[in-house]
Amino acid sequence: MASSVITTGNDLPRAGGGAPSIDRFDSPQLASPGGHYSHIVTHRGVAYISGQLPVTPGGTPLCGEPFEIQARQVLSNLDACLATAGTNRGKLLSVTVYVTDMGDWPAFDQVYKEWLGPGRPARAVAGASELHYGSAVEVHAVAALD
């Protein structure tokens, strides 16, 4: 794990005293979670990254900005979470994208392709009638740590 990781603790008991821990982290590069969740949870060499919205590191939602700006902020936030967990884009296993307008899907796919490069993790896209803050896009991801 990166030294800048802020842990929120491991409050789950270990079965038999030897089970791998479940660790929770918040990225110091992002605004603190606004609800009862962690930015990142790791277990058995896998990082699970909470849905990232187009919110600046200072906590300002970009819901009034054009779709491409929102998409780039979401991916920047995902980068911050990956770095905090000690991993990177190349180790993404699965990405789930939520968009409020499926007409924006081609624009997201182009921004995503530029951001990701040659990597091609498993991916799903889902239309959502509404996202927090009135955002147009949210991304959840799973990445390997090894």
Strand 92-99, strand 122-127: pairing:
parallel
- Spatial separation of the C-alpha atoms in residues 6 and 29, rounded to whole Å: 10
Q: Nearest-5° angle of CA 100, CA 101, CA 103? A: 155
- pLDDT per residue, tens digit, the chain (146 aa), is 443 444 444 444 444 556 789 999 999 999 999 899 999 999 999 999 999 999 999 999 999 999 999 999 999 999 999 999 999 999 999 999 999 999 999 999 999 999 999 999 999 999 999 999 999 999 999 999 98
* pTM for this prediction: 0.87
Say if residue 83 is exposed, middle or buried (CB neighbours under 10 Å; 0-12, 13-18, 19+).
Answer: middle
Site of tokens 């939520």: 98
